[in-house]
Structure 1
Amino acid sequence: MAQEQIQEDLKGKTKAKQRYLKEKKKRRKLRKSDGASVANKPKQSHQATPEAAESGLEEQELSSAAEEEKVNDLRNDSSERPQKRRRRDASEILDGEHKPEPAPSENAPLDDTPATLPSLPSFPLPSLPEAPSSASLALQGASSAVLSATHIYREDQLPISLDNPEDSSLLDLRTRTRLHELGITELFAVQTALVPFLLSPGPARSLYCPYAPPQDICVSAPTGSGKTLAYVLPIIEVLSTRVVTRLRALVVLPTRDLVVQVREIFEAVGKGRGLKVAAVTGSQSFAHEQSLLVADKSASLLGGSSKVDILICTPGRLIDHLNTTPNFSLQHLRYLVIDEADRLLAQSFQEWLPRVLSAIKHPLKHDTEHIPRLNDIGHADALSPTNTHILPHHPQLPFPTEKKDVSCQKLLFSATLTQDPGKLASLALRNPRYFVIHGERASSSQEDHVMDVVTEKFSMPASLSEHMIVSETSKKPLMFLYLVHARKITNALVFTKSAESTSRLLKLLDLFEELSIQKGTKSAQNRIIARAYSSDLGPGERKNILEQFKSQAIQILICSDLVSRGVDIKHVSHVVSYDTPVDMRKYVHRVGRTARAGREGDAWTLVEEQEARYFKAMLRKADHLTNVKRMRVSDDDVSTLTPLYDNALDQLREHSARR
């Protein structure tokens, strides 16, 4: 019964719709025929005639029938039209392009569809701000001293004259004469800028300047640019005026080899000036080092006791003497030199830096409230001017409100000097002055140089040629042998990642040389002499090997990164990174062992295929990728070496298995 009733209702509604459409056609025909006459008809009164009322009722009935038909259509199709409508309206509102429906004309057919609602006000969509440039990010947090650094160029050199009594270098005639005897006739760029600055008239040339202490110095220069001589010359000039021996210059270095090298430079340049130089590294007994440093170990002297004017040491050994050597004092320091500063600041070494800075300011190790009587102070005691206030009955100054400060001037040197604010803050620098060495003057602008300093872009020697060879891991030893025999690489430093890799590569090279002599491809006189240099060797053995390499009795020195910093060997013409360096700083210090002091040199890096991506990314980040040229080695290039290499590799495996 329910279904029959629904069908009858649908038929009734369909008939109503048919009547509505017939009437609509009639009205349309009337409009077309009587359009002009209808437009000129006078307006009718608002009173409804019986005919109008009847037609109005009919129209109302038709409209209700049409509405019922629309409701039925909505029921049959309730899932499409409303969703499309909502989607269209939402997109129009979001795009801000919703347009109102045009107003119907007088001749438009009647439509009972409700009018379109006015659109919502449109607002701009939120957007992310533009990211700041890398330059602005790099400048954030940079100190004013870094931004106002003094930029020096390699071509800025100063000749050392013996005829002019007032030489622009401000060096004494005796020092200039000594430099000429050593074959040094001009100052390099870093020396040209730094030596006159440290020797300028005034407090800079004084042994003590507690009321006007000098500025601290930070120097960033490429390896081999003459940084060591840049601080050796001013220290010798100023300390040559001393009368009493006090420890006035302390040079801290990361390795024993560097300590020995810097001591030799001090002794060579300061010959005949009466200055006493000592080096402590732990290679000798502790008691012997104590006898070199202090004159009296029995009494406790407020001014300390020193037998040397200049001390060169490693940080660990320095802390040992501060802790246990009686009368060893740093209160008289005029210069504190930290060479290879980035490495020393990155490693704690028993918190050596805070201990040293504290010893410079507070010389007493015991209770400072206990002041000994004047009669108890030994005749050898002499406090520095900064610490005379701890003496009993010390004289009052005419201006007691004027504060005194330590006269120690800090000098920081490195080829990769850090700009980390945290690390630099630990140094407690006093009004620091920065000196930065660059390439040619026309290569870049002053703004580019500032960005290079802030972003830590490192400078390389101008006479250095850089290469890389990408190969399979299994063929990397063969590539090394190719460089040695096909490219005739000698007088070379070869860097590996560990002491074990050093000994294994040396054994492979020795086996290859023996097989070459046995097969007749090489004579015994032309055999390449190579040695390993690593931390596994004792100090005496390392010193002996280094001396043989300097005298060219050894042609290839295979070593770890123990000698990657500061070691100056003049005849090194090639540097080979057998194992790829892990960061840019290590790469800079490795390749800096050649092309020093204007000499030419080549740097080779053997890169495994899986390392190539990371190595290139490291160079690209430092804006240095274009400077490293890739060299391709084909199988034909190494075809003559392959049979001997395979035999040597088999023997190396047997040797390793027997160990």
Structure 2
Amino acid sequence: MKFSELAIPEPVMLGIRACGFTECTPIQALTLPLTLAGRDVAGQAQTGTGKTAAFLIAALSRIVDQDSSTVLPSTTPGTPRILIIAPTRELVVQIEQDARTLAAHTGLHILAVYGGVDYEKQRLALSEGVVDLLIGTPGRLIDYLKQKTYHCDQVQALVIDEADRMFDMGFIADLRYLLRRLPPHSQRLSMLFSATLSYRAQELSYEYMDSPEVVSTPMDVKTVQQVTQCLYHIEGRKKISLLVGLLHRDLAESDGAVPGRIMIFTNTKRMGETLQNWLEANGVVSGYLSGDVPQAKRLRVLQRFQSGELPVLIATDVAGRGLHIDGVTHVINFDLPENAEDYLHRIGRTARAGAKGDAISLVDEEGAYRLEQIEAYCGKIYVAWAPDELFVELHRPLSSSQPRSMAAGSTKRAMIQRKGKNSFVAPKTVAPSIAAGDTGQTEDTVISASEESEAAATTGKKRVRRRRNRTRNATDALTQDVAPASESAAALPS
């Protein structure tokens, strides 16, 4: 189906042509005939299938006068007529960018509100400026609504994007608070999209929408078919070595006029930070994205990755859904995700809009337990065997925070209780060795309070002071909970 076959106002069609769109994607072909006719829709579609354009075209067409193809702009500040709710700040920013392109010839005013940026600036833009299309995360939208910064009584089109993610992130109470303050569902166009149209999402749609039409596309099968998947069974302590070897190989192969982009997914923020340190130490430039990264920095990292300045992006599942980044050639699951649906969303960052892509998973002892569920959902994954040359010798970062599960030896801290008197022992630690040939070790002096007391009795006060300073520095480097050596010495019987 072509866009020209649909009843889309000319100002919106100009935006569609500017984006280079001619043919509808499957989700657009299913939803647009319904939404352009005023029907509510609950759609199941993964990001990358064109659902953002589907709901933006429908919402913009709702505002533009169908008969005269003219725009009737709002004149009252703080009264948006289109409200789009998305679970993450990155997704809000992406929707805003797409909306500005599609609405470039409509004259409608667009504003995005989300946390992590200038709160007062957004509040003034919303309360004092004219806003036709408002995009935001639930928390920031509710905050401004409670302050009466804006009102929802003029909303003519509602979009709830990534509804399943809203439930996962605990936003359902906030979402219901917003929906209860909108005009009756019979007076507005409502659209809900979700990658997995669960029972909870469908219940929400039937509660706050006007008999929505439920549609879905076979995007899961299509995504899997477009992605070349493989996995490596690997010991946890060798994963970083293999990862660096894979990155060196794949980045070298993609070197050219259009450099490749690689996304690496981890399950935890700590592991993401660890990987970035190791990659930097081994000549791989990367960015890092998680919920704890300040919003301004997150946007800069995304922009650098989208522009190709950063060839590698490390991310937790905060980037696993909703983000559309062109040109991602590889997705690497450093950690297998907890469930199969997250695996599908991760590998969906590549093979966008009909392109091809590669998904590589590093399956260690812990990840093997999750593999059966993933393969039952997505099909059998090809098992590859890594040649020896892919296991590179690593350079250790200046300050590594390698997890215990990946270390050849781990630092242990011991506290000895002595009838109400504590003595702390800092045992020898061996630096983790991952790459073949890496034999560098460091040892920390073993010092206890009893040793210092003995030294004080035999070497004199001056030597005791020097030894006490060395002790304090050594123990502070191991743990912040170690009491000063002088206190321990004072607690021992003379």
Tell me, yes or no, whether TM beats 0.5.
yes
Task: Provide the secondary structure at the position in 2 that maps to 1:187.
Answer: coil
Tell me if 1:293 matches 2:130.
no
Q: What are the equivalent positions in structure 2 for 1:61-210 lying under 5 Å apart?
A: 158-160=1-3, 167-200=4-37, 204=38
Residue 561 (structure 1) shift: 1.6
> Quick one: which of 360, 364, 376 aligns to 2:182?
360
Whether contact under 8 Å (1:199, 1:234) holds in the other structure is yes
Could you report, residue by residue, the CA deviation over 1:560-598 in whole angstroms, capped at 9, with x for unpaired residues? 222111111101111111111001221121111111111
1:309 alignment counterpart? 132
Q: What are the equivalent positions in structure 2 for 1:456-475 lying under 5 Å apart?
A: 460=223, 462-475=225-238
Residue 540 (structure 1) shift: 1.5
Whether contact under 8 Å (2:18, 2:101) holds in the other structure is no
Residue 350 (structure 1) shift: 7.8
2:41 alignment counterpart? 217
Whether contact under 8 Å (1:535, 1:562) holds in the other structure is yes
Please, what TM-score do these two structures have when normalized by structure 1?
0.55
- Counterparts of 1:218 and 1:265 in 2: how far apart (Å)? 21
Whether contact under 8 Å (1:508, 1:649) holds in the other structure is no
Tell me if 1:638 matches 2:390.
yes
Whether contact under 8 Å (1:251, 1:311) holds in the other structure is yes
Residue 658 (structure 1) shift: 8.5
2:187 alignment counterpart? 407
- Counterparts of 1:198 and 1:426 in 2: how far apart (Å)? 16
Aligned partner of 2:390: which letter? Answer: V
CA change 1:190–1:651 in 2 (3 A) is farther
Whether contact under 8 Å (2:186, 2:210) holds in the other structure is no
> Quick one: which of 144, 149, 152 aligns to 1:330?
152
Tell me if 1:274 matches 2:28.
no
Task: Provide the secondary structure at the position in 2 that maps to 1:311.
Answer: strand
Unaligned runs of 5+ in 2: 66-71, 255-259, 396-433, 444-476, 480-494
Tell me if 1:476 matches 2:239.
yes
Residue 341 (structure 1) shift: 0.7
> Quick one: which of 491, 504, 510 aligns to 2:274?
504
Tell me if 1:616 matches 2:372.
yes
- Counterparts of 2:279 and 2:441 in 1: how far apart (Å)? 10
CA change 1:223–1:649 in 2 (3 A) is farther
Tell me if 1:536 matches 2:292.
yes
Tell me if 1:345 matches 2:167.
yes
Whether contact under 8 Å (1:493, 1:557) holds in the other structure is yes
Could you report, residue by residue, the CA deviation over 1:124-149 in whole angstroms, capped at 9, with x for unpaired residues? xxxxxxxxxxxxxxxxxxxxxxxxxx
Residue 423 (structure 1) shift: 5.0
Aligned partner of 1:503: which letter? Answer: E
Tell me if 1:257 matches 2:90.
yes
Residue 311 (structure 1) shift: 0.5
Whether contact under 8 Å (2:241, 2:435) holds in the other structure is no
Aligned partner of 1:510: which letter? Answer: E
- Counterparts of 1:651 and 1:507 in 2: how far apart (Å)? 18
Residue 552 (structure 1) shift: 0.7
Task: Provide the secondary structure at the position in 1 that maps to 2:84.
Answer: strand
Please, what TM-score do these two structures have when normalized by structure 2?
0.73
Q: Percent identity?
A: 27
1:579 alignment counterpart? 335
- Counterparts of 1:421 and 1:529 in 2: how far apart (Å)? 40
CA change 1:652–1:356 in 2 (3 A) is farther
> Quick one: which of 378, 382, 386 aligns to 1:629?
382
Whether contact under 8 Å (1:493, 1:559) holds in the other structure is yes
Residue 336 (structure 1) shift: 1.5
1:230 alignment counterpart? 54
1:5 alignment counterpart? none
Could you report, residue by residue, the CA deviation over 1:43-84 in whole angstroms, capped at 9, with x for unpaired residues? xxxxxxxxxxxxxxxxxxxxxxxxxxxxxxxxxxxxxxxxxx
Residue 231 (structure 1) shift: 0.5
- Counterparts of 1:652 and 1:273 in 2: how far apart (Å)? 66
How many residue pairs match? The answer is 392
Task: Provide the secondary structure at the position in 2 that maps to 1:247.
Answer: coil
Residue 316 (structure 1) shift: 0.6
Residue 307 (structure 1) shift: 2.1
Whether contact under 8 Å (1:472, 1:609) holds in the other structure is yes
Residue 195 (structure 1) shift: 1.6
- Counterparts of 1:280 and 1:651 in 2: how far apart (Å)? 50
CA change 1:350–1:486 in 2 (3 A) is closer
Aligned partner of 1:529: which letter? Answer: V
Task: Provide the secondary structure at the position in 1 that maps to 2:355.
Answer: coil
Residue 177 (structure 1) shift: 3.2
- Counterparts of 2:205 and 2:90 in 1: how far apart (Å)? 29
Root-mean-square deviation (CA, aligned residues, Å) is: 2.8
Runs of 4+ in 1 over 6 A off after TM superposition: 647-654
Whether contact under 8 Å (2:159, 2:190) holds in the other structure is yes
